[in-house]
């Protein structure tokens, strides 16, 4: 029986030792390549998949040390059942070669076979085991219809795989077009580079395709604690159902790394799809592979998309030290945008309540893109967001969705930058209350105080919109709701411009105010300007109540149409019993407490307010 060309290297490079102590090398030596190609002509040919070609490379280069080939049945079952190799070493994922029933019948144990990809020889394998593929068992471990995804299962079902072949392999050093297209760094080469660079702590990070602000935060956090980052990239070519296109995310990742990271400190390396699953098993496999590459540490970000806890991670790593896994593991909390902090943080660094934390799921992002909506700067940098939006334009969209042909331009200047220049946060103080309750009077007094103390403020009044933008609207129920919807959209634009908006609208119904809150998003504060109907009628600054009583104005709030007072407003101002000065002081104090005011310039302008009427 001809032998295959697997050997191990005992390294003395001063770096963290490969998993198992030695680095596997399973390449056909260059001087024997010609002889091997002649032998291959007489071997049984077996075509392998794109994923199996990557697995072959990982075995051959030593990334999967101590494996020297595809797993036999005993090893395969041990990994599925106990997360261990047969010698007791911890191992996360099966590494197998799948074939159809027809191919399995044509192969015998002990036979040497030629591995082909797209009709080109890529390696040889000595078959030591032929056994049934346990698709149901793999599905129960890695998940079809459960929370963990392992793409190999679906791909193999499509190929009608029924059996697995086990045995040692050797890869031909000549590279196919596909291999050349997906160029990997070999562990031995990277270890030499680490020594050449004088690095002491190369870090890996368990991220599939980083492009969002939260991804950037995690990458930079890892980079701050290391000399450089080894970013193993996903090789997938098809997205999860309803997900973002991998090709789109790859382009977004390149933009992020090229424009916002030092090029000499981030190394990219394509890896098998299954390595990026959300399961702790995938994390274990990533840690083993990264140690073989010489990484001293690996970062595992938790995700809001999958219910995996810190305990889950530590449980799968419980016995790994006995196996020689020495790489330092760091579990990172779920990052989010905090509206009060004004940036990305985690629960470890942010002191604010969860209601101020903004997290966008992939479903949220896809939904916005399919409707032609722009991604907020809190999700991704503007140039990256535009690249993702352009790429997603090729994705099928709903025929009845309005605005699917619209792709709003995202500003190069983020809201955070505008807020920083203004010296204060942006937000809306939505004032609701009966006509004559004092909303407009208080709004303009607060505007005066804020402007004179250096704030960027705008008062948005219902009557102003009614005589301009919304003059086409009548006063029926639907028209009134549309009036508030448009007002909310205007408020949203002004907030994006970094302004504090004081909006004065009767907005009598709870459902409509909730609609406004949903449109505006974060930093929405509901201010209830309370006054009983008798007080409002007595003031009646516009003569509206008199006309409503006479039947001239139908469905007038408080007379012929109800007003649903807020049950839990952020601020309540009772103008029936408080003076204008007292209301302005209470309002001003609230704005400061809400984090919208410039603390160094919180100076009230109260001269001349004492004794003045509210409306």
Judge residue 412's burial from the number of C-beta atoms within 10 Å of its C-beta, 0-12 exposed, 13-18 middle, 19 or more buried: exposed
* Sole residue written with tokens 């992939």: 362
Domain 415-601: assigned CATH number: 3.40.50.300
CA–CA distance, 439 with 529 (Å, rounded to integer): 6
Q: What is the pLDDT of residue 610?
A: 42
Query: Is 435 annotated as catalytic?
Result: no
CATH superfamily of this structure's domain 7-181: Sulfate adenylyltransferase (3.10.400.10)
What is the value of pTM for the model shown?
A: 0.65
Question: b/e map of 440-472 (b: 16 or more CB within 10 Å)?
Answer: bbbbebbbebbeebebbbbbbbbeebeeeebee
Q: What is the pLDDT of residue 98?
A: 96
Question: Residue 611: CB partners within 8 Å, gap ≥ 6?
Answer: 579
Q: What is the pLDDT of residue 261?
A: 95
Q: Where along the chain do its domains lie? A: 7-181, 415-601
Q: What is the mean pLDDT of each run of 10 residues along the chain (615 residues)?
A: 65 90 90 87 93 92 95 96 94 95 94 92 94 88 52 81 96 59 81 94 90 94 95 63 65 90 91 74 92 96 67 79 92 91 92 91 79 82 86 51 49 73 90 91 93 92 87 86 93 92 93 91 91 87 81 81 91 93 94 79 41 49
CB 291 within 8 A of CB 92: no
Question: Residue 574: CB partners within 8 Å, gap ≥ 6?
Answer: 530, 531
Alpha-carbon distances, residue 225 vs 56, 259, 330 (angstroms): 33, 21, 11
CA–CA distance, 173 with 193 (Å, rounded to integer): 21
- Catalytic residue, chosen from 226, 440, 453, 507, is 507
Judge residue 334's burial from the number of C-beta atoms within 10 Å of its C-beta, 0-12 exposed, 13-18 middle, 19 or more buried: middle
């Amino acid at each position: 029986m001809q032998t295959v060309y697997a050997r191990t290297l005992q390294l003395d490079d001063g770096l963290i030792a490969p998993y198992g102590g030695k680095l596997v090398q399973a390449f056909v030596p260059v001087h024997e390549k010609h002889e091997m190609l002649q032998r291959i002509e007489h071997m049984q040919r077996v075509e392998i998949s794109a994923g199996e070609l990557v697995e072959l490379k990982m075995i051959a280069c030593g990334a999967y040390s101590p494996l020297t080939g595809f797993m036999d049945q005993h090893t395969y079952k041990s990994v599925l059942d106990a997360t261990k190799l047969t010698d007791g070493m911890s191992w996360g994922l099966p590494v197998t070669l799948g074939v159809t029933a027809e191919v399995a019948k044509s192969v015998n144990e002990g036979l040497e076979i030629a591995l082909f990809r797209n009709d080109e020889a890529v390696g040889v394998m000595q078959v030591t085991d032929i056994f049934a593929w346990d698709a149901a068992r793999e599905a129960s471990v890695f998940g079809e219809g459960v929370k963990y995804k392992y793409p190999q299962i679906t791909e193999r079902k499509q190929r009608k795989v029924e059996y697995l072949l086990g045995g040692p392999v050797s890869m031909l050093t000549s590279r196919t077009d596909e291999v050349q297209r997906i160029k990997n760094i070999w562990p031995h080469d990277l270890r030499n580079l680490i020594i050449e660079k004088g690095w002491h702590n190369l870090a890996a990070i368990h991220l599939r395709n980083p492009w969002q602000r939260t991804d950037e935060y995690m990458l930079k956090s890892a980079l701050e604690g290391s000399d450089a980052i080894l970013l193993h990239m996903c090789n997938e070519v098809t997205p999860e159902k309803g997900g973002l296109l991998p090709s789109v995310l790859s382009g977004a990742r390149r933009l992020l790394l090229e424009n916002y990271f030092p090029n000499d400190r981030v190394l990219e390396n394509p890896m098998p799809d299954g390595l990026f699953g959300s399961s702790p098993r995938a994390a274990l496999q990533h840690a083993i592979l990264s140690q073989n590459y010489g990484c001293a540490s690996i970062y595992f970000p938790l995700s809001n998309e999958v219910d995996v806890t810190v305990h889950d991670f530590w449980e799968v790593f419980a016995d790994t030290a006995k196996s020689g896994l020495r790489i330092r593991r760091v579990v990172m909390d779920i990052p989010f945008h905090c509206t009060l902090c004004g940036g990305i943080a985690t629960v470890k660094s942010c002191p604010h309540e969860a209601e101020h934390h903004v997290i966008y799921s992939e479903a949220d992002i896809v939904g916005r893109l399919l409707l032609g909506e722009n991604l907020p700067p809190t999700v991704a940098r503007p140039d990256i967001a535009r690249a993702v939006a352009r790429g997603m334009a090729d994705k099928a969209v709903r025929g009845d969705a309005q605005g699917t042909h619209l792709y709003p331009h995202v500003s190069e200047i983020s809201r955070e930058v505008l807020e920083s220049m203004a010296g204060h946060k942006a937000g809306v103080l939505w004032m609701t209350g009966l006509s004559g309750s004092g909303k407009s009077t208080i709004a303009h007094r607060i505007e005066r105080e804020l402007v004179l103390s250096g704030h960027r403020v705008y008062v948005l009044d219902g009557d102003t919109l009614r005589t301009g933008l919304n003059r086409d609207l009548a006063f029926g129920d639907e028209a009134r709701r549309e009036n508030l919807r448009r007002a909310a959209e205007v408020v949203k634009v002004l907030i994006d411009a970094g302004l504090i908006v004081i909006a004065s609208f009767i907005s009598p119904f709870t459902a409509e105010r909730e609609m406004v809150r949903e449109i505006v998003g974060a930093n929405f504060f509901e201010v209830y300007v309370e006054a009983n109907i008798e007080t409002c009628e007595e003031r009646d600054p516009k003569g509206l109540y008199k006309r409503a009583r006479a039947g001239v104005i139908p469905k007038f709030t408080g007379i012929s149409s109800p007003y649903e007072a807020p049950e839990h407003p952020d601020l309540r101002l009772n103008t029936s019993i408080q003076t204008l000065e007292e209301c302005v002081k209470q309002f001003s104090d609230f704005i400061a407490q809400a984090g919208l005011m410039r603390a160094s310039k919180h100076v009230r302008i109260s001269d001349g307010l004492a004794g003045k009427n509210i409306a």
